[in-house]
Structure 1
């Protein structure tokens, strides 16, 4: 079983990738999408979204990070894929799953699923443009408004030479509303031979094991569940092995919050440090009620120093210590 970290736009940047992969359990990450429209992008764009390129395409913990491209034109996507490979990306991922209206309006993401032949043409062009040893993976949904073309989409991607395919088990119309239709992924398993990775509504170890059974997929991609429970990959891997390991307590999560604060302060302007911390607390409160209390305490704070002091007080109150930088 392989466990992948989903490329969540505006949430899972290189700092979050570094933090989550340090906890173990993850086999691969995918960057936020690089938007490609009309031209070959300069190297600085790739390095900005994937600074792991300076580290052989891996996080500090050694987990490979595939670089994701989003766009609707085969030729220019192929050019940018080739550049990403030249810069050392260990793999290229294509985004046909993003449901955001602004993205779809600019001919990117899930809107392309309305034309299965375009999905296949883009995949084929990118596959032809990068060295054979560089994997080309695809992220898709079940369709746009409906899933009647789902198998056609999947077969086209496989025929175009994709290395593997991650399927978010909802259409664009479904957005992120539960449930996820894992059984539809099992239908794809019957018509293609490339590896399939199931994604969607995996919040717990029980969800993960049930998703593997229903979808007929060995491998899973974890998204929001891994933000709500940062040790979810490790717990899923243990459950798969029949082992019983304890979940992280709130006292153990607090040093991770401080480490995330430190990473964010190192890589971004201090004026914006508060937003990622508050955003992660919103996810964490799904599983840790203490996160909701802490969020209320710091939500009006703006200065990086004040937010750091707020985190330090919470750690002191719980008898923990910040993780080393």
Structure 2
């Protein structure tokens, strides 16, 4: 397209794709939030509020007298004006602020951002690097990203299955009791390979190796983003104390967008211009390794950290009401 069309055509195409995706989402992704009545909840978890309780969350089971019927497609498409929780809207809006102070969530936000940020960095610098060092035309630079598509296709089948296998194996060894930290050993692959993708790309461009070397860095980065997903489940060492809620994922995504991805894409080109590809990407590789290596202390002391931080006064202001708790 870059050969025969103008930049306007590309933007028209993007607008059409976004519009089609928006319509598809509207009709295929209905609201699934459910108004919970605590007296009619089939089973819910209660957090360990004192040291006397066992490590395993207690499960309360009560009879459900009336199960609501499944909504029709028309009903699911309708706008729901009823409140989905008894919590104050101000408390819900305030909750992401103290949640980011929890060490597991803060680490998850940064590590989550590293995976996305690395790909943003590669995309920000690729046009200049491949055109100046390897003499690629615009369409050839576009072909570089075929490696990312191949990486995604190879990584997707193993993505969730690998971390599930790691967690399930640890759960079996723990007598069937699952802890959030049991997924963290899967990060060990990303801890080595993400810095490796940066080094392949940065050093390959710096030393003007064959163009396949930096392209392998792009391939490895995208394969890892599918193979070792650091989002949600993997980044959930905070879950037992605070429950699963939209705000936690808002913190992860919003923090990644505001602080990690923006800063990386905004400052990477001046950084490369000052320190060169070897210096800049070498520093990024070291930083990503150091951050991702924090999975080790979180794996060892994660439960103690969760229990201690759950009692912080500022975090207590963000505790979930029971009608928002969905358990493990």
Same fold by TM-score greater than 0.5: no
TM-score scaled to structure 1, two decimals? 0.18
Name the structure with the higher helix share. 2
Name the structure with the higher strand share. 1
